[in-house]
Every structure is written in C-alpha cells, then in structure tokens.
Amino acid sequence: MSLPIVETVESAAETTPAPASAPSADRRPVLSATADEWRRWMVDRGHPAYRARQVLDWVVRRRAVPFDAMTDLPRALRRELDEEWTVFGTTVAYHDVAPDGTDKLVIECRDGRRIECVLMAEGPRRTVCISTQVGCAMRCVFCASGLKGVERNLDSAEIVEEVLHLRNLLPPEETVTHIVVMGMGESLANLDNLAAALDRICSPAEGLGISQRRVTISTVGLPEKICKLAAMDRQYHLAVSLHAPTEELRNELVPVNEAIGLTAVLEAADVYFERTGRQVTYEYVLLSGINDRPEDSRALARLLADRHAHVNLIPYNPVAGLPYGRPEPEAIDRFVATLRQRGISVTVRKTKGRAIDAACGQLRRRLQPETERTPR
Ligand code: SAH
C-alpha cells in the first residue's frame, strides 16, 4: 500500500492488541454464504426466508454483533446460528492509529495468515484501502508486499470483512464512502473473488451501497484481466501501476513486464476506457535517481499524450532494507511541471499514516520480522 503517509507525522503510534474473539474453526463465517444460500438455509430448517436478510443486515449494516445480541431473531434461532456459524471468519490482530488519525488493522485469517488494511479520513471522505492476497507474486523491486512472494488469494468473504472491520471503527453516524484496492496483493490476479466482494459491498440492497465509481482497483497491469474486468460492465475506476515510461526501465522495476510489455498494458487500459467510459489513472512511484529524471517525465508525457489519461505520482515510501529513496520536493515539482506543460493531467499522492508503517505490507513485516527473507 502506498497511500497512507502524512508529512506532519512524527511520533510513532502505539501498537495495541485488539480484544480477542477467536471464531471457532469449524463454524462457517456468515459472509461465506450468498444471500440465496442463506435463504435456503433458513427455509431448510423451517424458518421464514426473511430471517436470512435479517442476519445479513446485522452483519453487514448493523455492525456485526454476536448472534446472541440479534434481538429481533427468536432465541432458538440464535442458538442454532451459534452452532453452525461465526459472525466473522477473520479477527483483528492489531490496531494502530497514526497521529493523523489513520487506522491500520492487521487482520488474521482462520489459517493464521495475516493481511493489512487501512482507514483514512479526509474531509467527508472515509476511504478504506484493502488487500486481495496474502503477499504478492509480482515482486516489484521497491515494494514490501512481494518480498516473500504470494501465499494465497483471499476469498470474497475475507475481502468484505476487511471493509466491515474498518467500517466498525467509525462512529455510528459515519460509514465508508470510498474503497481503494491498493493493499497487499495483485488485485486482478484474484479478480473473481474481488469482483464478488465488491458486488456485495456496493449492493444498495444487501451491502453498504457504495457507488462503483467510488471504488478504485489498482493493478500492475494484467491485460487479459483488465479486459475481463471491462467486460463485466462495472463502473470501477482503474489505476494501472506504470512506474516507468520505457520497456527497459519497466522490466527492471516491475519484473512481470518482461512477459507482458508496455504496449499490451496500455492497449488493455484503452479497452477499459472505451468500454466503461472511465478515465484510467496511471500510477507512477517516484524513485530518486531511477525514474524521476527529466527524460523520464518527457517519455511519460509522450506515451500518454493521446490517451484520455490521468497520472498519479506517488513519492516513494521507503522500505527498510530496500535501496530506494524518495526524490527531493524540487525533483517532484519538476516532474509535475514537465507533464503539465505537455497537457497531461497529473496529481501527486498525499500520503498518510507514515508513523504506523501504513504502506505495502510494512506493518505485517514489522510484526513478524523473523519470518522475513532478506530482500533480493
Ligand atoms: N498490485 C497492485 C496494488 C499495489 S499497491 C498494483 O500493482 O497496482 C498500490 C500502489 O502502490 C502500486 O502502484 C504500487 O506499485 C505502489 N507501491 C508499492 N510499494 C510502494 C512504496 N513503498 N512506496 C510507494 N508506492 C508503493
């Protein structure tokens, strides 16, 4: 995750273990079943089908209390539920709050694996940044998430639970307004589970009713998956992690590019724009002395000149043990100016939560450093 950092943050936040409520391994998480499966479960046991809606409402919208506290359900049903189901499959292992108010959760899955997600507040926006995989297979050379490779995909219930755990931190009158899929993992490598999770979260009837246009999916750029997502006819905002304007430099920074190639990535992004009408954002992490040179900004402008594109520059958030640094503000300003002079729409990402390692697998790393391999 690159987003979370604010320059004013100085003191380190405290790490506090969250209250334990370990779910039993043999009970199914409520969100592992669809609304249809829930209706069938109720009817098969002689309950009215509408009880399914009540249970899901409690978990998704009414902030997931224990079954016993679902007071509009008959007591006997609450006991039956407790025997077979658990409200959440995942638990909050750690909760950090940065001095700027950014919350970061380390979530523990039922198999003991851990992922990270973040809640950021800015004006009226409440944005969550969620993970899609445990680890990442892409091995972008500057990123902490891929240092150990990928362990597995998250299932759709685990992805939805990230959003709900973060939403549950908000006061009752607030809710999540935006989602960025920029946590650990390559989002489109787990497209089916991600799409199912987002459908559920965005559903006005059964989810949180978040508009698809307020969801950003960030990808390293897997052309076939971008086209598949385009064909799903959703309105998600696509962000492609470009990071380099030439084949040679991108191969170096984003090794999967060797097998894919810049042209294929750009063409797939063009398909996404044509099909959905949504402007594509190109993310570009600025690494001092590596891809922030004047010739890089000029080459980037040429590459995107005829595209309906937006560039989001991400000043690098240094990762312990990796040999990359953030450019000086003057270098960032020069990069921006070159793009603007050439008519490219560009913003620089404001970063939050630096004191709590709210970036790219960094908190998880700090909590279990002994299991980490040395970076390549
Ligand atoms: N797999 C997805 C999501 C990755 S995280 C993707 O590749 O887009 C979101 C963005 O943060 C990506 O552009 C990623 O390359 C970038 N990023 C990773 N580590 C970073 C760091 N330490 N500092 C700044 N940006 C980083």
Q: Which of 38, 55, 86 is the last residue of a domain?
A: 86
- Nearest Cα residue to atom 19 of ligand 1: 143
Going residue by residue through the chain, which has 376 residues, state the pLDDT in tens, using 9 for 90 and above: 544 433 223 233 444 444 444 456 789 999 999 999 999 999 999 999 999 999 999 999 998 789 999 999 999 999 999 999 999 999 999 999 999 889 999 999 999 999 999 999 999 999 999 999 999 999 999 999 888 899 999 999 999 999 999 999 999 999 999 999 999 999 999 999 999 999 999 999 889 999 999 999 999 999 999 999 999 999 999 999 999 999 999 999 999 999 999 999 999 999 999 999 999 999 999 999 999 999 999 999 999 999 989 999 999 999 999 999 999 999 999 999 999 999 999 999 987 766 555 555 565 655 554 333 333 3
- Nearest Cα residue to atom 1 of ligand 1: 186
Q: Which of 71, 86, 101 is the last residue of a domain?
A: 86
Whether residue 221 is found in the same domain as residue 158: yes
CATH number at residue 116: 3.20.20.70
Q: Are 91 and 68 in contact (CB under 8 A)?
A: no
Residue 316: inside a domain: yes
Whether residue 143 is found in the same domain as residue 62: no
Catalytic residue, candidates 108, 109, 116, 158: 116
Whether residue 252 is found in the same domain as residue 349: yes
Whether residue 128 is found in the same domain as residue 149: yes
Residue 175: inside a domain: yes
Using alpha carbons, select from 322, 271, 280 the residue that is nearest to residue 304.
Answer: 280
Beta strand ranges found along the chain (DSSP E): 15-17, 28-29, 85-86, 91-97, 103-108, 114-122, 125-129, 133-135, 150-153, 178-181, 215-219, 237-241, 280-286, 309-315, 345-348
How many residues in the chain? 376
Domain count, the chain: 2
What is the CB < 6 Å shell around ligand 1? 1-2, 138, 140, 142-143, 182, 186-187, 218-220, 241, 283, 285, 314, 316-317, 319, 359-360
Going from the Cα of 138 to the center of ligand 1, the distance in angstroms, rounded, reads: 11
Q: Which of 140, 281, 291 to mutate to test the pocket of ligand 1 (most atoms within 8 A of CB)?
A: 140
Q: Give strand pairing partners of 241.
A: 283
Show the domain range for 80.
28-86
Whether residue 45 is found in the same domain as residue 97: no
Going from the Cα of 142 to the center of ligand 1, the distance in angstroms, rounded, reads: 9
Using alpha carbons, select from 230, 164, 221, 223 the residue that is nearest to residue 195.
Answer: 230
Going from the Cα of 54 to the center of ligand 1, the distance in angstroms, rounded, reads: 38
Going from the Cα of 144 to the center of ligand 1, the distance in angstroms, rounded, reads: 9
Q: Are 283 and 294 in contact (CB under 8 A)?
A: no
Going from the Cα of 314 to the center of ligand 1, the distance in angstroms, rounded, reads: 9
Ligand 1: which atom is nearest the Cα of residue 218? 8
Whether residue 238 is found in the same domain as residue 330: yes
Active site residue 360: yes
Residue 186: inside a domain: yes
